[in-house]
Amino acid sequence: MKPTVAPFPATRLRRARQTPGIRGLVRENYLATGDLIWPVFVREGKGEEEPVPSMPGVMRRSVDKIAEAAREAQALGIPAMCIFPYTPLEQRTEDCAEAWNPDNIANRAIRAIKDAVPEMTVMTDVALDPYNINGHDGYVVDGEIVNDRTVEALVKMTLAQAEAGADIIGPSDMMDGRIGSMRQALESEGHQKVMILSYTAKYASAFYGPFRDAVGASGALTGDKNTYQMDPANSNEALRLVERDLTEGADMVMVKPGLPYLDICRRVKDTFGVPTFAYQVSGEYAMIQAAAQNGWIDGEKVMMESLMAFKRAGCDGVLTYFAPAAARLLNG
């Protein structure tokens, strides 16, 4: 039922904006450190923190430094981290076998975080692009990204990550049928507690460029990802994908990118009422950072405003490279 609003001057909406205390009383949405998932990049080496040029303030860290980052996250109240590997070129192959190597850098990082901060929630990325010489999320056969053979590989990758101690599996590949196959494998192998946060509505976006630099996939990529990631023009398709992934066993769903797709976040939340997340991707982060460094915007205020937008759109949480900086502000 639509509420009735008395005409001016009986209704003066500015009355609810006049002081910080009153604004706080009527505020509709709140952002907390518990809403943040911090994506981190892991690389080989020891004692390494290598800046990502296109993502100011973001580092590729060696496994020992990832453990240090986990302690930092815990101190800031950030409940979860998501691991993305920067795989050496010599480990990128046609068969992508490094993806399910129990001792690849991603799986070592999982164990390092759990050793350093056992209560930290660890999320992983499931896609072949960091391990694929072709830079794609799936196997490339005669120029085509093949679906079913890729899903078989993703299942092996999922089980290796679960064995390493991952709490949340994050399939970002956008292959058909992968959620059902992953859930079945996790159940049959005794990993019933492992959750799946599906990159359900992942668009073929131009906002991913800095991320591909960070994981070393930019130079390797041949062609584009339009045959498996979503068309940015589509909205209804996202709801079909969410429904499918939920019926296959996804516990939570994600929209990616974030700010350009807030309408999708809202539609997903309103339609299904399930835990809904968004990924504030590398291009979004880089634009804010670049503008702030040039003095064109107030970086801290824009950062916090952008994060609040996700909450207003119905998201339960957000993956963001701003997580430590935002947590420091939220903690005062």
Q: At 268, is the secondary structure helix, strand, or coil? A: helix
Residues in the chain, overall count? 332
311 is catalytic: no
| Whole-number Å distance between alpha carbons of 197 and 203 | 16
The catalytically annotated residue of 65, 202, 225, 269 is: 202
Residue 167 Cα to chain centre, angstroms? 14
> Are 86 and 215 spatial neighbours (Cβ–Cβ below 8 Å)?
yes
| Whole-number Å distance between alpha carbons of 280 and 278 | 6
Structure tokens belonging to residue 182: 């992953």
Q: Rounded to 5, what percent of the chain is helix, strand, coil?
A: 45, 20, 35
225 is catalytic: no
The angle, 0 to 180 degrees and rounded to 10, between the axes of the packed helices 262-272 and 299-312 is: 30
Q: Where are the alpha helices (DSSP H) in 34-147?
A: 63-76, 105-116
The catalytically annotated residue of 65, 225, 256, 269 is: 256
Strands 140-141 and 144-145: antiparallel
Q: Could you tell me where the beta strands, DSSP code E, fall in the chain?
A: 36-43, 49-51, 59-62, 80-85, 121-126, 140-141, 144-145, 168-171, 195-202, 252-256, 276-280, 317-320
Q: How far apart are the first and last CA of the chain?
A: 39
H helix or E strand, kind and range, residue 284 = helix 282-293
| Whole-number Å distance between alpha carbons of 162 and 168 | 8
| Whole-number Å distance between alpha carbons of 71 and 59 | 16
* Catalytic residue positions, numbered: 202, 256
